[in-house]
């Protein structure tokens, strides 16, 4: 190794280029290959269940967009005191670093409907705890000819139960 010093400076990691502000989603989506898959969630403390779901979602199409709840949106969901554990900027970076993810953005509303409308995905995906008829965007995506999937959990893991376990320790 040469004597080069890495100082961190203002450099942006390659994966951080996958993070797209909501107001730029439409223009970035236009450049992505189809079929386009969309999913959303808090993804607060990333675990094996999340990674498996994202990999399976990505396998359904050519590109995967993930929309994260903002910190305020997570708090409104009532997931418990101190949630989210990780702030939005950290959650965005972690999700963007995953190979399965093509682009990551966020929403401050209670639902991701506006991001779904911005992206017009061909495939909408949520985890198996969401019946298809309750998935936000189901009507819109099927209305323009897309498909909606509730993917069964491969690994029964939840952030809430993981945090409860940590607190007990």
- At 32-83, the pLDDT tens digits run 999 999 999 999 888 888 899 999 999 999 999 999 999 999 999 877 778 8
User: Is 156 among the domain residues?
Assistant: yes
User: Is 4 among the domain residues?
Assistant: no
Distance between CA 4 and CA 6 in Å, rounded? Answer: 7
User: Is 65 among the domain residues?
Assistant: yes
The total number of structural domains in the chain stands at 1
Nearest residue to 42 (alpha-carbon basis) of 124, 111, 125: 111
Whether 20 contacts 104, CB under 8 Å? yes
User: Is 3 among the domain residues?
Assistant: no
Check residue 131 and report its DSSP letter.
-
User: Is 9 among the domain residues?
Assistant: no
CATH of residue 137: 3.40.50.620
- At 90-141, the pLDDT tens digits run 999 999 999 999 999 999 999 999 999 999 999 999 998 899 999 999 999 9
User: Is 159 among the domain residues?
Assistant: yes
User: Is 7 among the domain residues?
Assistant: no
Domain membership of residue 117 as a residue range: 16-168
User: Is 140 among the domain residues?
Assistant: yes
């Amino acid at each position: 190794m040469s004597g080069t010093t890495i100082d961190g400076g203002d450099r942006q990691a390659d994966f951080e280029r996958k993070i797209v502000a909501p107001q730029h989603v439409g223009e970035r989506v236009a450049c992505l290959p189809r079929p386009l898959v969309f999913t959303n969630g808090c993804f607060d403390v990333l675990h094996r269940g999340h990674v498996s779901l994202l990999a399976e979602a990505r396998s359904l199409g050519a590109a995967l967009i993930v929309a994260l709840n903002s910190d305020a949106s997570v708090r409104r969901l009532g997931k418990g005191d101190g949630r989210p554990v990780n702030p939005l900027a950290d959650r965005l970076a972690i999700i963007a670093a995953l190979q399965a993810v093509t682009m990551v953005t966020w929403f401050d509303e209670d639902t991701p409907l506006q991001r779904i409308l911005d992206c017009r995905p061909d495939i909408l995906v949520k985890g198996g705890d969401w019946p298809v008829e309750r998935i936000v965007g189901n009507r819109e995506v099927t209305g323009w000819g897309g498909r909606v999937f509730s993917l069964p959990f491969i690994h029964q893991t939840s952030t809430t139960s993981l945090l409860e376990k940590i607190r007990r320790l």
